[in-house]
């Protein structure tokens, strides 16, 4: 079995007595707490940076909306939801959130643990280096995170290899809860965050997360998510994780398409081929059967939850 690459120790900040024993200022100025910003990634709507927490002396992750979205009330609400969902779901397979606040200009930000590693997409790009059992273990860890989230009435809605991080010590973290669905205590209605007009079905395949478009990445969307079914529940995450499992086993996704429209039609109407029919690699039947069951068009025909997936993935396949 091949383990995932270890992180070089020089990538971590060293710990020195001068830093651990430095006195806090008499008056705390939150506007000068974070310094030495470096860009990690820039998404469609947000900027992710590393920075130094001058109070605690640690390097952390700092996320904020891009200037063109900073004053958009819907994007602000989505952003706060992501920060709070991440903070409230305290699980070994989620990233700890430290603080949410406003910067000196009044714009929202939140901070979280800075985690080094590889996305599962990067891992799958070099799948020949890894034993199948190691890849399946990543799927199991994601299922643990989702089972925990579902138990707290949260569905992720954007499970894909790019949102799964594999750390240098074998840790697996589910990222980006920005599209998470939660329910009010009194009702199970979709909020304004879930409403949007139809997407352009001739758009190229990719991430379509802007207002006025489907929310998520369509390659991994369940049929009910594509239809924007107001009764969507945890079965949509089971479907998306099933697509990931299919990809692990087949080295391709269940549906192949060049446009959003083609992918939409395939997901809604076409039966995906059996994995053993599209790859020459040996595919354990238990894993193939599980992946195909997760891809059922009818949510009720899928495994009832991620706990059932975990049980099957941990059998002697």
Q: How far apart are CA 317 and CA 314, in angstroms?
A: 8
Q: Is 154 helix (H, G, I), strand (E, B) or coil?
A: strand
Check if 194 is active-site. Answer: no
Pairwise CA distance, residues 34 & 24, whole Å: 14
In whole angstroms, give the CA distance from residue 166 to residue 134: 11
What 3-state class would DSSP assign to 81?
helix
Tokens standing for 110?
Answer: 């939140």
The rounded distance, in Å, linking the Cα atoms of 130 and 315 is 20
Cβ atoms 228, 235 nearer than 8 A:
no
Annotated catalytic residue: which of 158, 176, 203, 237? 158
CA dist 194 → 136, 141, 143, 178, 233 (Å):
32, 28, 24, 12, 13
Phi, then psi, of 112 in degrees rounded to 5:
-155, 175
- Measure CA of the first residue to CA of the last residue in the chain; give whole Å: 16
DSSP 91-149: -TTBPPEEEEEE-TTS-EEEEE-----EEHHHHHHTGGGS-HHHHHHHHHHHHHHHHHH
How many other C-beta atoms are found inside a 10 Å radius of the C-beta of residue 1? Answer: 8
Indicate which residues carry an active-site annotation.
Answer: 158
């Amino acid at each position: 079995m091949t383990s995932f690459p270890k992180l070089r120790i020089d990538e971590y900040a060293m710990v020195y007595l001068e830093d651990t024993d430095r006195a806090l200022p008499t008056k705390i100025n939150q506007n000068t707490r974070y310094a030495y910003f470096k860009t990690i990634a820039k998404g469609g709507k947000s900027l992710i940076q590393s920075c130094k927490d001058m109070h605690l002396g640690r390097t952390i992750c700092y996320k904020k909306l891009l200037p063109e979205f900073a004053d958009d009330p819907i994007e602000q609400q989505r952003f706060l939801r992501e920060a709070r969902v991440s903070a409230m779901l305290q699980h070994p397979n989620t990233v700890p959130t430290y603080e949410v606040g406003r910067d000196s200009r009044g714009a929202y930000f939140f901070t979280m643990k800075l985690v080094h590693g590889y996305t599962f997409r990067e891992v799958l790009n070099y799948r020949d280096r890894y034993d199948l059992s190691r890849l399946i273990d990543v799927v199991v860890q994601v299922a643990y995170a989702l089972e925990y989230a579902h138990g707290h009435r949260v569905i992720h809605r954007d499970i894909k290899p790019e949102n799964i991080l594999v750390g240098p010590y074998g840790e697996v973290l589910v990222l980006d809860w920005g599209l998470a669905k939660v329910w009010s205590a009194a009702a199970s209605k979709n909020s304004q965050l879930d409403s949007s007009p139809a997407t352009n079905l001739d758009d190229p395949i990719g991430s379509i997360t802007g207002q006025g478009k489907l929310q998520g990445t369509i390659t991994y969307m369940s049929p009910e998510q594509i239809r924007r079914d107001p009764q969507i529940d945890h079965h949509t995450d089971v479907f998306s994780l099933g697509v990931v499992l299919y990809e692990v086993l087949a080295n391709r996704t269940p549906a192949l398409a060049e446009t959003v429209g083609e992918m939409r039609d395939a997901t809604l109407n076409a039966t995906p081929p059996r994995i053993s029919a599209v790859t020459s690699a040996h595919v354990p039947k238990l894993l193939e059967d599980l992946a195909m069951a997760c891809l059922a068009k009818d949510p009720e025909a899928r495994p009832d939850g991620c706990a059932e997936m975990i049980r099957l993935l941990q059998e002697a396949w």
